[in-house]
Structure 1
Amino acid sequence: MTAGELSAPAVVVTGATGAVGRHVARALARRGPVRSLVRDPGKAEALGIGGEIVVGDYRDGAGLERAFTGAGAVFVVTADPLRPQDDAHILDAARAAGVRRAVKLSWLAVADPRANDLVARWNRESERLLRSSGLAWTVLRMRTPMSNTLSWAASIRRESVVRALGGDARTACVDPRDVAEAAVRALTEPEHAGRTYALTGPELLSARAQTATLARVLGRPVGFEELTPEQALARWSARLPRPVAQALLEAAQRRQAGESAEVEGDLGGLLRRPPTTFAVWAADHASAFG
């Protein structure tokens, strides 16, 4: 960035402690003023998120006002399909404060007309709100993040096994760090306004193939056990509301039917380099799997 750009209004990062948002906040803090909206400042500190930290919730009007006062752009990340009003609250507060640009993190399943689960419908509506907000907008539709495999870490450490549904279903999982780099470009480069990008990794991989890659990285055998749909739903329901767990099951079943088995080229164009492979991501995160 030029010296003039460094004195530009702050960029607000919502979801700043999430898998993508943490990397966006860190990268922006190295370039200029950034303000992260978080519920847990201790977690933000532990993650080493730089810039200004604003404590608040998407339903907290005062917190949103503090975050957006004097800001010029916002990275929009919402995480709860049972709270669809969160996107409207963010965009309304941003518009009222004079924010001019918004980059939304969405999901690539939105582009599949056969995807009609709760999460897909929620993201479609969130995108509609963004496009009608009056802000200069960009949508980043990401495929399954590689960091989702961190949910396997405990069973790999304890039992050297991965248990998942749809072990042979292939998808082009994507490195959250790459998505964050794309988001920073969309937030700081004007040519991305009005664009929707499909962000995937560079290769189609199944859960079994990811397990094999983790085994090579760890230097020890790691087995794979296929879950039934009922077992997978029970596992998701133990930590998520039942409607969200049901949506995850429907998405997994679409993957099994081959409906997400595509590699898109938008990410490489945004990054101006090849997207990161799962093997590289796994080597970088090997310590998490023990």
Structure 2
Amino acid sequence: MILVTGATGTVGRHVVTGLVAGSHAVRVLVRDPKRPSASGPRVRTVVGDFADPAGLAEAMAGVRAALLITADPLRPEHDAHLVESARVAGVRHLVKLSALAVTEPGADDLITRWQREAEERIRASGIAWTFLRPRSFMSNTLSWARSVREEGVVRAPHATAANATVDPRDVADAAVLALTEPGHERCAHALTGPEALTPVQQTEILSEVQGRALRFEEISREDHLRQLCTRYPRPIADALAEGADRQLSGAKAHRDDTLPRLLGRPARTYRQWATDHQAAFRP
């Protein structure tokens, strides 16, 4: 039995789909039973909360491997509860969705510290582990969708700073491999896309895919932070802004060949992602 947490999110839902396609028995942990998740004869949905160790113990019972996806840097106890529940239940392998920023000496924001601490907690648990460390997701540009639909404009900071963003579907495919195949124990996989693109270049690709001219407008750091504060608590918004600032030094432009080696195919490009999601940007 494989447990997937974060199963309705950006990566988790694709992981569940991949496991189902491979005929693996899957237990899906959700907090809200009304949110749609995969279904099928080999899929069992359980309701639980990362803040409830008793519920997590039930979810972990009989599980061989678990994908850990947590989402709140302000609640590190969520990670602690998951790892301890897995240890007590005898889970043999933990696959953790982390972030590539943990390898950057200059990265010391709240989110990166949280991910580093989560990795250390798993190492100390005695359970076999695999860390998936993706670069920023291509799907983050869905935050541009409304202004593209309504105004034909992309507004973002750091116009000419490159980022080797990765398709979440490729990250999910790597997770499925780590959960189902031997040889990934004690491995930390750096997962990037095949090219480092600036926001201006991404806008050009969106224009070509959409078949209409889009305009790019660079916004200040202050405006970017204000936008983030409308969606996240201030400490998380500050951390995201700090992370975006690191692009200016080229910290996020490095491309890694791990994904093609794992998947046996090229990593998806931003053009492929934009083509597959073009409906989200149409007027």
How high is the TM-score relative to the length of structure 2?
Answer: 0.96
Q: Find the partner of 2:2 among 4, 11, 17.
A: 11
Structure 2: runs of 5 or more not aligned = none
2:189–2:258 contact (8 Å) kept in structure 1: yes
Q: What SS is found at the alignment partner of 1:205?
A: coil
Q: Identify if the C-alpha distance between structure 1 residues 280 and 49 changes in structure 2 by more than 3 Å, giving closer, same or farther.
A: farther
Letter in 2 for 1:11: I
The answer (yes or no) to whether the contact 2:53–2:82 under 8 Å persists in 1 is: no
Provide Cα deviations, 1:124-158, integer angstroms capped at 9, x if missing partner: 10110111111110001000011101111111111
Query: Which among 190, 195, 200 is matched to residue 198 of structure 1?
Result: 190
Residue in structure 2 matching 1:124, options 111, 116, 131: 116
The answer for the alignment partner of 1:73 in structure 2 is 65
* Cα deviation, residue 212, structure 1: 0.9
Looking at structure 2, the residues matched to 88 and 29 of structure 1 have their Cα atoms a distance apart, in angstroms, of 28
Q: CA deviation at 1:65?
A: 2.1
Opposite residue 104 of structure 2, the aligned amino acid is D
Asked whether the 8 Å contact 1:145–1:173 carries over to 2, the reply is yes
Partner in structure 2 of residue 29 of structure 1: 20
Distance 2:209 2:79 in 1: 39
Partner of 2:270: 278
Amino acid at match of 1:61: P
Shift of 1:62: 3.2
- Quote the residue 1:227 is aligned against: 219
Q: Distance between the aligned counterparts of 1:75 and 1:116, measured in 2?
A: 25
Whether contact under 8 Å (1:12, 1:68) holds in the other structure is yes
Q: Which residue of 2 aligns with 1:3?
A: none
Task: Name the amino acid aligned to 1:278.
Answer: Y
Tell whether 2:257 aligns with 1:265: yes
8 Å Cα contact 1:22-1:49 kept in structure 2: no
CA contact (8 A) 1:143 1:173 kept: yes
Question: How far apart, in 2, do the equivalents of 1:49 and 1:63 lie?
Answer: 21
**Which segment is superposed worse, 54-63 or 117-126?**
54-63
Counterpart position of 2:166: 174
Q: Distance in 1 between matches of 2:9 and 2:199?
A: 22
Secondary structure of residue in 2 paired with 1:191: coil
Letter in 2 for 1:280: Q
Q: Which position in structure 1 is the counterpart of 2:210?
A: 218
Secondary structure of 1:74's counterpart equals strand
Q: Which runs of 4+ in 1 moved over 4 A?
A: none
1:136 equivalent in alignment to 2:136: no
Who is 1:5 aligned against?
none
Local SS of the residue matching 2:98: strand
Distance 1:36 1:244, change over 3 A: same
The answer on 1:20 being equivalent to 2:38 is no
Secondary structure of the equivalent of 2:64?
strand
> How far apart in 1 are the matches of 2:207 and 2:235?
34
2:148 partner letter: I
Q: Counterpart of 1:42 in 2: which secondary structure?
A: coil
2:236 alignment partner in structure 1? 244
| Distance in 1 separating the partners of 2:39 and 2:178 | 20
Give the root-mean-square deviation of aligned CA atoms: 1.1
Cα distance in 2 for partners of 1:158, 1:209 equals 20
**CA-CA distance at 1:44 after TM superposition:** 2.4
Shift of 1:49: 5.5
Matched to 1:14, the amino acid is T
1:53 maps to 45
**TM norm structure 1:** 0.94
8 Å contact kept, 1:117–1:247: yes
